[in-house]
Amino acid sequence: MVRTRLLVCLLLLLGGLTPSLRGQVRTGADVLIADSLHLLKGKRVGLLANHTSRLASGEMLFDVLRAHPELTVTAVFSPEHGFSGSAADGEAVASGMAGDVPLHSLYGITRRPTPAMFDGIDVLVMDLQDIGARFYTYISTMAMCCETAAETGVRVIVCDRPNPLGGVKMEGPVRDESQRSFVGYLPLPVRHGLTAGEALRMAVGEGWLRDGAAPQLTVIPCDGWRRGMDFDATGLPWVSPSPNIPSVDAAFAYPGTCLLEGSNLSEGRGTDTPFLVFGAPFVDAEALCAGLEARQLPGVRFHTAHFTPDPRRGAPHPRFTGERCAGVRIEITDRATFNAFRTGVNILDEVRAQYGAFLSFTSYLDLLAGVSGFIKLPIEDAIRRSAEDIRRFSARRIPYLLYP
């Protein structure tokens, strides 16, 4: 009993130590405000931000910077889903005003900031919560901002944030050059294991930006984040980075089940669990679930599901709106062994085996996978290609890593 009490006391004492020892991570935005505002004093500041760009206090970075007496926020930029993060996937967002500051949408008339948009800016601060998948478009927007910054001589400061999936594990192939697009702007694996700051450091260092652009780039690292942490280990509150990533498990599944967007299956948009449930009216839930369970994929269980996609915030026109779908619900049982990309490829392979006459694909699947002809690639070749690409990429990324 005495030993137990001593142990409890010791744990309570440790709870009073630094935030990083308790698992509480400080984001780059919090570090900027607390320790690095001298970088912005006297400057005209542009800000790439959205609803995820908030501090530990709950305040929005935009509001804190705009209220600061020693700098001037002259322009705001927003990525896909808009400044409020409420627009649907692929929905064009109009520019406007954020208070008395011009707000330029980079998912409307243009996805690349024009040099004119950078007039009156000395430094561009970028603060967006990425989710660690190549086809999530926030890093594409950040890379294009870096290109325009290099062209106009504007300095770039990235307020880094944790990769919700952790920084160790990688999945899927590295994008082919022929498949460069807005959902694959940088040649990364599908699950890349980098923070946004690390990915941009690598983009500059490897010459991946347009015309070899090399902006003056400063990354303000997170305090207390380690590569082995997934998001739940950070102590930070989950703020859905977009309407259809409502949970950390949805983020973990996304590098695999997003591939279904290149088929005529529902990926669960229009339900409460997008990317964790999938199916179609032509599917037999029990048969598909049994086929996937028989594959014995690590870290995941499959359960029968029936759902009806309905219009909602962030999914105004989901596939099979109002139609009863049968399918499967994913349960991630072990994040350490779960491989989303491998799971997604197996899902497509099993659906093709059972419902080949009903299943169809579009060229979008090649863009998502990043591989030309991926639609026709045998599953064994897809998995082998992924393993080979990741082995090479793992060594290549080492000089750009910021965290142990």
Q: How do residues 50-94 score in pLDDT, each as one tens digit?
A: 999 999 999 999 999 999 999 999 999 999 999 999 999 999 999
Do 232 and 320 have their domain in common?
no
Can you tell me the mean pLDDT for 13-28? 56
- 138 pLDDT band, cuts 50/70/90, is very high
- The answer to whether the beta carbons of residues 159 and 127 sit under 8 Å apart is yes
Average pLDDT in the 143-159 region?
A: 98
Phi (first) and psi of residue 307, to 5 degrees: -155, 160
Domain check: are 179 and 35 in the same one? Answer: yes
Predicted confidence (pLDDT) per residue in 245-300, tens digit: 999 999 999 999 999 999 999 999 999 999 999 999 999 999 999 999 999 999 99
What is the average pLDDT value for the chain, to the nearest integer? 94
- Decide if 16 is inside a domain: no
Residues 72 and 96 occupy one common structural domain: yes
For residue 249, the model assigns a pLDDT of 98
The answer to whether position 200 is within a domain reads: yes
Model confidence at 142: pLDDT above 60: yes
What letters, b where the CB count within 10 A reaches 16 and e where it falls short, cover 198-222?
A: bbbbbbbeeebbeeebebebebbbb
Of the candidates 189, 208, 239, which is a domain's last residue?
239
Q: Is residue 9 part of a domain?
A: no
Note whether 73 and 95 are same-domain residues.
yes
Judge if 44 and 97 occupy the same domain: yes
In a domain, 50, yes or no: yes
At 193, the pLDDT band (50, 70, 90 cuts) reads: very high
Number of folded domains that form the chain: 2
Quick one: 234 and 277 in the same domain? no
Instruction: Return phi, psi of residue 314, to 5°.
Output: 85, -10
Judge if 168 and 291 occupy the same domain: no
Is 303 found in the same domain as 199? no
Does 71 map to a domain?
yes
Residue 21 has pLDDT above 50, yes or no: no
- The number of CA neighbours under 13 Å toward the Cβ of 347 is 35
pLDDT of residue 36: 97
**Residue 66 domain-assigned?**
yes
SS3 label, residue 360: coil
Identify whether residues 164 and 312 lie together within a single domain.
no
Nearest to 269 by CA among 285, 284, 280, 255: 280
Q: What is the pLDDT of residue 16?
A: 36
Confidence band for 19, pLDDT divided at 50, 70 and 90: very low
Amino acid 22: pLDDT? 43
Asked, for residue 381, whether it belongs to a domain, the answer is no
pLDDT grade for 11, boundaries at 50, 70 and 90 = very low
Tokens of 174: 């590295």
Pick the residue with more confidence: 9 or 256? Answer: 256
What proportion of the chain, given as a percentage, has pLDDT over 70?
94
State the pLDDT at residue 17: 35
Identify the CATH number of the domain in which residue 118 sits. Answer: 3.40.50.12170
Number of H helices, E strands in the chain: 10, 10
| Structural domain harbouring 363 | 248-372
Residue at which a domain ends, from 200, 221, 239: 239
CATH number at residue 329: 3.90.1150.140
Task: Write out pLDDT tens, residues 272-281.
Answer: 999 999 999 9
Task: Examine the domain organization and report whether 33 and 138 are in the same domain.
Answer: yes
pLDDT number for residue 13: 34
End position of a domain, from candidates 239, 258, 289: 239
3-state secondary structure of 116: helix
- pLDDT reading at 10 higher than 90: no
Q: What is the pTM of this model?
A: 0.93
Question: Stretch 311-323: mean pLDDT, rounded?
Answer: 97
328-344 pLDDT, tens digit per residue, is: 999 999 999 999 999 99
β-bridge mates for residue 76, sequence order: 47, 103
